[in-house]
Structure 1
Amino acid sequence: MDLENMCSTSALQALSKLLSFPGEEDDNLEQVSYPSSVVGALSPGNIGPEKKEKSKVNPPNKPENKNDIWDLEEVPEGAEFDDMWDPREQPEYDIIFKQQVGAEDLFLGMTRKDPSTACCEDLMVKIKLPGIKASDITLDIHEKVLDLRTPSHKLLLHLPHPVDSKIGKASFITEKEMLEVILTMKREFDFINFF
């Protein structure tokens, strides 16, 4: 059997008939005859009955706006603060999880706390800011974003855990040229941390 006979339109139509679902009526299938110049453009997608495209249906609560490029769910939180053209350098920082422990935790193990981050209540961010004074720092805290700006540094930090933006403490340590920000994490009530 040569290659031309295998790629002919009649061979593809016969293969389409073999691959059709049992019980389909032949009169519903249209026999399409392709000119010989189109035979090279046939592909496996042409085998079988033609598929009707499904119409795109909008979710019930979302009106379609043709000017929108993307949905609000696709934009990450804190993206409105990001400025990739800002030439200021990003300072070095560390994220440290903190937990409040007492004697009942250390010696008696009464509260079921362990050293894991699941038992931590606070989040500490240490940011090194060489050559900066405390009066030059602008700090803005949101639930999942820490935004720090100085004349020579910019840090947009997506926090690993949601925090309470109204409760927190920031202190600038002049000797180390470091800003320490302590934030209280928003935690679900569980049997380890709150019982």
Structure 2
Amino acid sequence: MARTGPGDIGTNLPPEGKNNNEDQSFPFPKGCLTYKKKKSKNIWEDEEVTEGAHFDDLNDPRPQPEYDVVLKQSVGTEDLFLGLSGKDPSSMSCDSMLIRVKLPDTKTSDVVLDVKETFLSLRTPKYKLGLHLPHPVHKQEGSARFITEREELEITLPLSRSLGY
């Protein structure tokens, strides 16, 4: 009977430079391919780097503006009084995300906004904001509006949920 253990996690490839046909100290079958590490000084591969990491510019002296992230959900009377939809107050039942960014002394034409699935980048001549979002969003379906009285940008992004409501 086959049993699995901690040694079965991951790939069953011998270390670099070892070949099963030459060294029988490894419990790998004959003819097993060896793992060859790329000759590179990179610590991570491009696909391993978090989305939005290329926006982090440490030499940029612009300050980060004040911002708030609020999760929203659509609630009707059947949810409030009867609880028919099964929604609860947790973030797993939320439908969208509202991000309020305070941008004093900023015009609407100066704002550059780039939204990815898990990252938001906002640039103005005075401020920069690189924000990793707490939940994945539908980047094409969002909306933004600048409220001049409060000098605040409101960004509404619908959440991308694979399961749920």
* TM-score normalised over the length of structure 1: 0.65
2:84 aligns with: 110
Distance 1:63 1:95, change over 3 A: farther
Aligned to 2:72: 98
Task: Give the structure with the higher percent helix.
Answer: 1
Query: Runs of 4+ in structure 1 displaced over 6 angstroms?
Result: none
Match of 1:163 in 2: 137
- Matched to 2:92, the amino acid is A
**Equivalence for 1:139:** 113
How much does 1:102 deviate? Answer: 1.0
- 1:156 is paired with a residue whose SS is strand
Deviations 1:15-38 (A, max 9, x none): xxxxxxxxxxxxxxxxxxxxxxxx
Which residue is equivalent to 1:56?
Answer: 16
Q: CA deviation at 1:66?
A: 1.0
Equivalents in 2 of 1:84, 1:158: separation in Å?
Answer: 16
Q: Quick check: which has more Rg, 1 or 2?
A: 1
2:100 is the alignment partner of 1:126 = yes
1:78-129 deviation digits (Å, cap 9, x = unpaired): 1111111101110000000000111111122110111111100101100000
1:164 counterpart SS class:
coil
Q: Supply the distance in 1 between the matched residues of 2:104 and 2:139 (Cα, whole angstroms).
A: 26
The number of equivalent residue pairs is 136
TM-score by length of 2: 0.76
Distance 1:125 1:63, change over 3 A: farther
Aligned-partner Cα distance in 1 for 2:81–2:134: 30
Q: Which amino acid aligns with 2:115?
A: I
- Pairing 1:27-106 to 2, within 5 Å after superposition: 55-56=15-16, 64-72=37-45, 74-106=48-80
Structure 1: runs of 5+ lacking an equivalent: 1-53
User: How far apart are the structure 1 equivalents of 2:72 and 2:86?
Assistant: 16
Structure 2: segments with no counterpart, 5+ residues: 1-13, 18-32
1:185 is aligned to 2:159 = yes
State the distance in 1 between where 2:51 and 2:154 align. 23
Moved more, 151-160 or 70-79: 70-79
Q: Which amino acid counterpart does residue 66 of structure 1 have in structure 2?
A: K
The code of the aligned residue for 2:59 comes to W
Q: 1:68 and 1:188, CA in 2 relative to 1: closer, same or farther beyond 3 A?
A: same
Report if the CA contact (8 A) 2:52-2:119 is conserved: yes
1:68 positional shift? 4.0
- Which among 157, 162, 173 is matched to residue 147 of structure 2? 173
